[in-house]
Amino acid sequence: MNVKTSYLAGDWKEYTLTNDQGMMVRVLNFGGIIREIQVPDRNGRLENVVLGYRDAADYKEDTNYFGALIGRVAGRIAGASFTLDGREYQLDANDDSNHLHGGAGGFHQVLWEVEPFETDETVGLKLFHESPDGTGGYPGNLLVTVTYTLNHANQLTLDYQAKSDRTTVFTLTNHSHFNLSGDLKSTVHQHQVVIDSSRFAELDEELIPTGRMLDADGTTFDFRQDRKLGDGFGGQTPQHRVAGGGYDHYFLFDWEKVKQVVVSDPVSGRKMEVETDQPGMVMYTDNQVGDDLELTEGMSRKHLGMCFETQGSPASLQHDGFPSVVLPAGELYEKQTVFTFSAE
């Protein structure tokens, strides 16, 4: 187990975590971005399984949030405003008239303080950020700690903690775009996915939840058994059409399975299991990614990756029945998501 630090332009640093199995994770202090994850296929070949830019400077203007920490609130807030304790708060409207992923100055755009650590069984990074009261329009002085931990079992654990001195809204996630084919050899059309969810949020034309939770049974949103992601590509139903020919929806977990998500690539044999204590997640399948981005292994294209954004739901600020994102003053926000990689 070891961690190495590299110095990039300006104040940017890159940290490389490696375990005894050869699994490797590269992280930037800018945005807490997971830039690369190398894991073996069924033949032991190590390859990258996340999308990242060849030139690190491209993250500065990235609108795809590749690998970044997302906050203060992950997801879209309708009308770029919310009401809390009788007071209305105006936020940055950076997605037409709506607020997306913490706004233009969200956590994906800040330099995090980083403390590497090593133990006999793990290697990792503690990332710290202080977000002052009023940042992006949000109330409360907020202290945030995110811990990335890699162990010998090829598990990457993301622990999130935060506390605010005023009641605020908050839900944090990581926006890694996964592709288990390795080094972006193919799109994710053939990836098999299982999600412990029977309900998902209906979206309007602006990708804002309407307030309705739809039954996934009998639809291309039913992932309770193995389903190919490509089943939902192409915009053949209204909900796939509004999402740009794929998925960009919040799935509410049923808590009937041990793993909330299981993803596998039949060609490489790689498998990724996701365990979390978050109430649900947004699955996004790179419907809006164009073909003009220079990534580490080649050029970008539609459906080249998939995100599993474990989080609460900002739709709860406008609608009942969605997991709350309100963080009371002085209360500790504490969540965890674990990504386990294997091959078969």
HSE-CB at 49 with a 13 A cutoff on CA atoms is 29
DSSP state of 112: P
Distance between CA 3 and CA 204 in Å, rounded? 44
- Buried residues in 122-141 as b, exposed as e (16+ CB within 10 A): bbbbbbebebeeebbbbbbe
Q: Is 71 helix (H, G, I), strand (E, B) or coil?
A: coil
| C-beta of residue 301 within 8 angstroms of C-beta of residue 187 | yes
SS (H, E, C) 265-282: CCCCCEEEEEEECCCEEE
189 tagged catalytic: no
Q: Taking CA 63 as the corner, what is the angle to CA 302 and CA 34, rounded to the nearest 5 degrees? A: 85
Which is catalytic among the residues 14, 36, 273, 309? 309
SS (H, E, C) 219-286: CCCCCCCCEEHHHHCCCCCHHHHHCCCCCEEEEEECCCCCCCEEEECCCCCEEEEEEECCCEEEEECC
Which is catalytic among the residues 101, 175, 240, 303? 175
294 tagged catalytic: no
- Within 8 A by CB and 6+ apart from 27, the residues are 14, 15, 17, 33, 34, 35, 125, 148
Q: Walk across the sheet containing 2-7 and list its strands.
A: 2-7, 13-18, 24-28, 34-40, 46-48
| C-beta of residue 228 within 8 angstroms of C-beta of residue 234 | no
- Residues carrying an active site annotation: 175, 309
